[in-house]
Structure 1
Amino acid sequence: MAGTPIALTIAGSDSGGGAGIQADLKAFSANGAYGASVVTAITAQNTKEVSAVHAVPVDIVSAQIKAVLDDLDVDAIKIGMLFSPELIEAVAQGLAGFTGPIILDPVMVAKSGDALLQSEAVAGLIDQMLPLATVLTPNLPEAALLLDQPPAKTDAEAVAQGQALLTMGPRAVLLKGGHAEGDTCTDFLLTADAPPFALPAPRVQTQNTHGTGCTYSASIAALMAKGLDLPTAVQQAHSYLHQAILQADTLQIGSGHGPVHHFHAHWTNL
């Protein structure tokens, strides 16, 4: 009998429950993987704002990584909020011997506009984390920050920025188009050995999109933990997230950017 698929999230905690490790663990479970977690930062956060951030001490982050990897047969890792240069270095060192897929979501700014990565940590993210990534999953503003360029305005510019990010170390880039204009959101999966693969979806008119990036990357990790290859995992995660956004308004959570509905396929009493 095959072992239980296990995914690990290394990310910040969202006290409002819509993003961060809370969203990751929900997405892992909804997509059929057991979830473990390493908390890098504690945020005081709701659907409206991030009012405080406390970085977890580096030795505790390192101890969490060691505790999980020493005992659990982790199949895939999702990395989210890292916050500081010191935390980036600790995570990079802690994953030195890990050979499974790593999904890196370069969390920089919350939906509310609050910063989740110190400006002095961007260089460390580029130098130490991008080369570890099986797939990097930036949105358009994050891609622009990583490249020190203006955000892409067209599909052609988005593909060009994704290809530029590929040269910085990740084995694949999933460039997310949710911040673009228009009635269709198009994501692009880019690898060195295949043409760009477009994943279009109709834009959903809702303000309840908190945690979309976390949920997307965590879903990919869960599906890869189950043995799916990257293109298949991305396609299935894309479909799952679209349905989670479509069903987001069936939840009434907070008064700002509410969460997507991670368990849209499982909750039947709404």
Structure 2
Amino acid sequence: MKTTPIALTIAGSDSGGGAGIQADLKAFSANHAYGASVITAVTAQNTCAVTAVHEVPADVVQAQIDAVLRDLKPQAIKLGMLFSPAIIRAVAKALSDYDGTVILDPVMIAKSGDALLQDAAISALKSDLLPRADLLTPNLPEAARLLGTCEAEDLQSLEDQARALLDLGPRGVLMKGGHSTGATCTDVLLMGMTAPLYLTARRVETRNTHGTGCTYSAAIAAQVARGLALTEAVTSAHGYLQKAIAAADELTIGSGHGPVHHFHALWG
């Protein structure tokens, strides 16, 4: 019997549809994987701001995970907005016997600048989930916050911070360079002791970059669910995301930071 690729997202809901659970499910589908979801928080959010956050009780988060893992058997899990120490501990407990691939996107701040992770949750994230992650996918501000240092400003410091994050326990680190300046954006992938892989793309001048981090990590999870090794999955997802950003202005969504075009290959 043919195995259906299944990816699970454990993240917050974005009522505007551009990031979080909604972006993850779109990215799963666009990358040919069936998507399941566990909601950790409900946000009142649009392209301009996050105006409210309601935390889902930790026991309900764990019950959602248990229900999915008991029946659907996802090959890859993407972790996004986890919000609080209680939710992080619940997720870690629920994944203790999971033997698939875990991709951790350490969501901390929305594109609008609103906080999506409590300050008290950072230490729990580092102690309980980083050692469980097969791939950690921070952007420059998230990496700096996890390490308690300044943001990387060049390729060497990008690689240095990736190595420092590897020391915290994940099997691999994808440092995303989208917050840097210049005509190109470079991501650095480090998998253990292997040589770094540099993924470079032309910077697209657009305001519509809401949900890029969520979309990237979800696309990686989808490709892993389809059977690709992590390095190949990252390379494939990188290409998908660049096309989604390049097509973002084909959409007219809201008046702030609009979403990328997840289904650029299907409609526009």
Above 0.5 in TM-score?
Answer: yes
Residues 177-192 of structure 1: pairs in structure 2 closer than 5 A: 177-192=177-192
Find the counterpart in structure 2 of residue 53 from structure 1: 53
Counterpart-to-counterpart distance in 2, 1:196 and 1:81: 27
Q: Does the residue aligned with 1:187 lie in a helix, a strand or coil?
A: strand
Shift of 1:249: 0.2
Equivalent position amino acid for 2:119 in 1:
S
Find the counterpart in structure 2 of residue 228 from structure 1: 228
Counterpart-to-counterpart distance in 1, 2:13 and 2:209: 17
Find the counterpart in structure 1 of residue 165 from structure 2: 165
Counterpart-to-counterpart distance in 2, 1:32 and 1:131: 28
Equivalent position amino acid for 2:233 in 1:
A
Counterpart-to-counterpart distance in 1, 2:45 and 2:191: 35
Deviation per residue, 1:188-243 (Å, 9 max, x gap): 00122211110000000000000000000000000000100011100000000000
Residues 123-138 of structure 1: pairs in structure 2 closer than 5 A: 123-138=123-138
Residues 182-261 of structure 1: pairs in structure 2 closer than 5 A: 182-261=182-261
Find the counterpart in structure 1 of residue 44 from structure 2: 44
Equivalent position amino acid for 1:75 in 2:
Q
Counterpart-to-counterpart distance in 2, 1:214 and 1:8: 13
Counterpart-to-counterpart distance in 1, 2:188 and 2:152: 13
Counterpart-to-counterpart distance in 2, 1:61 and 1:85: 13
Counterpart-to-counterpart distance in 1, 2:22 and 2:37: 9
Residues 64-143 of structure 1: pairs in structure 2 closer than 5 A: 64-143=64-143
Counterpart-to-counterpart distance in 1, 2:199 and 2:38: 30
Provide structure 1 residue ranges, at least 5 long, that are not aligned to the other structure: none
Shift of 1:2: 2.4
Counterpart-to-counterpart distance in 2, 1:230 and 1:104: 13
Equivalent position amino acid for 2:83 in 1:
F
Find the counterpart in structure 2 of residue 156 from structure 1: 156
Residues 16-31 of structure 1: pairs in structure 2 closer than 5 A: 16-31=16-31
TM-score for both structures, normalised by structure 1: 0.99
Provide structure 2 residue ranges, at least 5 long, that are not aligned to the other structure: none
Q: Does the residue aligned with 2:198 lie in a helix, a strand or coil?
A: strand
Deviation per residue, 1:19-71 (Å, 9 max, x gap): 00000000000000000000000000000000000000111101100110011
After the TM superposition, list the runs of 4 or more consecutive aligned residues in structure 1 that deviate by more than 2 angstroms.
none
Equivalent position amino acid for 1:53 in 2:
V
Counterpart-to-counterpart distance in 1, 2:135 and 2:174: 7
Find the counterpart in structure 2 of residue 4 from structure 1: 4
Counterpart-to-counterpart distance in 1, 2:217 and 2:87: 20
Q: Does the residue aligned with 1:119 lie in a helix, a strand or coil?
A: coil
Counterpart-to-counterpart distance in 1, 2:97 and 2:5: 19
Task: Name the % identity.
Answer: 65
TM-score for both structures, normalised by structure 2: 0.99
Counterpart-to-counterpart distance in 2, 1:93 and 1:42: 22
> What is the RMSD computed on CA atoms of the aligned residues?
0.5
Counterpart-to-counterpart distance in 1, 2:265 and 2:205: 20
Q: Does the residue aligned with 1:266 lie in a helix, a strand or coil?
A: coil
Q: Does the residue aligned with 1:194 lie in a helix, a strand or coil?
A: coil
